[in-house]
Amino acid sequence: MALAIYRKYRPATFDEVVGQELTVRILKEAAKTSHLAHAYLFAGPRGTGKTTTARLAAKIANCETRARDERFRAQGEPCNQCAACREIDEGRHLDVIEIDAASNRGIDEMRDLKESVRAAPAKGPFKVFIIDEAHQLTKDAWNALLKTLEEPPPQVMIILATTEVEKVPPTITSRAQTFHFRSVTRDEIAGKLAGIAKKEAVQASEEAFDLIAAAAEGSFRDAESLFDQVITFRGKKFSVEDVEQMIGKVAFMKLASFTEFLLTRDLEGALTRVEEIHDGGYSLLQFTKDVIQYLRRAAVLSYQPAMEKKFAAELTDDHLKTLLGHAKLFEPSHLELIKAFIRAYSQMRYSQFPLIPLEIAVIEGLKKK
């Protein structure tokens, strides 16, 4: 069975982790001086590298090359060549235990962990427990874990990963070093996909990568999974139209063209484009969401041109140029248009006929003067 793209190209060193520069810098410095903490809390959106970074920390703690080579240790990276590093990469190291809190969330599981903590490592110098989706632990489970975090054995490291840090009790966060993983930009995701495509001899346009990155909504893992799907669907040469068909999401330039109909109050053109989107089998709900986001950006730029720098990190040069042109067309009356699409989006989520609220939003929005 072929290895999935997101697993094949999972970062093997801290330097390969994209978009989390501050976290990587701090952890590398800790690795260089062997001052790793006994407990970490990695918080942030899905697919931003929390579990991957936890595994890197586990490799740092158990890397055999680092243990015997002081010069190599100063690099702050795992060697990825020794038996410990390879076993952790393959998920079979006896001293690195991953627990999915979504299905192992009770007090019994945490008591088992507490007992396991007391046992000495089987092979390496450290036992590392990685608890994913930690926010799903029960109150009793947190209380059982608390004692372990208060007085951990010297050979134990516990790493909690969560997408909802606000659900983690303060008594836990105060006993762990907390790192906040930010949502990565579309440009960063598209750049990584382009790099993978080069290694895999895949031919695709920049706009195709951009569309996949947009659909992933800040998640590297989702983007790489979609990329894998498109390759399975169309082979190693595909177009932006192939991606549209695969994920049901309209590409940026088609979205921009529709928005121009709205901003210039071209009712006939806008309704025709809605019909084309509907007949093309695209997700009308996703399309409406993207229109709202596009209009929001145009509105923000029209009132605050300095936001161009922020959007430059999210869009290609050509896309930014198009957006800036539409920002100049934006008028105060268009704010009502945004409100109409937001109402339509709310109605479409529960309607068996999503086309109707969208068409009504277009008609009502463009008829207003």
Phi, psi (5° rounding) for residue 205? -80, 160
In whole angstroms, what separates CA 259 from the centre of its chain?
27
Same domain for 112 and 241, yes or no, is no
Same domain for 18 and 152, yes or no, is yes
Q: What is the pLDDT of residues 255-281, one digit of tens each?
A: 999 999 999 999 999 999 999 999 888
Rg from Cα positions in the chain:
24
* CATH number where 321 lies: 1.20.272.10
* CATH number where 227 lies: 1.10.8.60
Q: What is the pLDDT of residues 294-312, one digit of tens each?
A: 999 999 999 999 999 888 8
* CATH number where 15 lies: 3.40.50.300
Q: Which residue has the tokens 């110098």?
A: 125
Per-residue tokens: 254:
């088609």
Range of the domain at 204: 186-247
Pick from 146, 180, 214: which residue ends a domain?
Answer: 180
Same domain for 264 and 289, yes or no, is yes
**Cβ 107 vs Cβ 139: under 8 Å:** no
d(CA 90, CA 124): 16
Same domain for 236 and 267, yes or no, is no
Q: Which residues partner with 180 through β-bridges? A: 43
Phi, psi (5° rounding) for residue 91? 70, 30
Q: How many CB atoms lie within 10 A of CB 322?
A: 20
Same domain for 113 and 194, yes or no, is no
Residue percentage of the chain with pLDDT more than 90: 52
Pick from 154, 180, 206: which residue ends a domain?
Answer: 180
Same domain for 25 and 148, yes or no, is yes
Same domain for 134 and 193, yes or no, is no
Q: Has residue 368 got a pLDDT over 60?
A: no
Q: Has residue 324 got a pLDDT over 80?
A: yes
Q: How many CB atoms lie within 10 A of CB 114?
A: 14
The DSSP output letter for 123 is S
Residue 186: pLDDT band with limits 50, 70, 90: confident
d(CA 126, CA 106): 25
Q: What is the pLDDT of residues 96-109, one digit of tens each?
A: 989 888 777 666 77
Same domain for 144 and 226, yes or no, is no
Domain count, the chain: 3
d(CA 135, CA 364): 43
Residue 117: pLDDT band with limits 50, 70, 90: confident
Q: What ranges make up the beta strands (E) of the chain?
A: 39-43, 96-100, 127-132, 156-162, 177-180
Q: Which residues partner with 161 through β-bridges? A: 42
Same domain for 164 and 203, yes or no, is no
Same domain for 227 and 283, yes or no, is no
Residue with the larger pLDDT of the pair 52 and 214: 52
Pick from 247, 267, 290: which residue ends a domain?
Answer: 247
Same domain for 264 and 232, yes or no, is no
Same domain for 104 and 169, yes or no, is yes
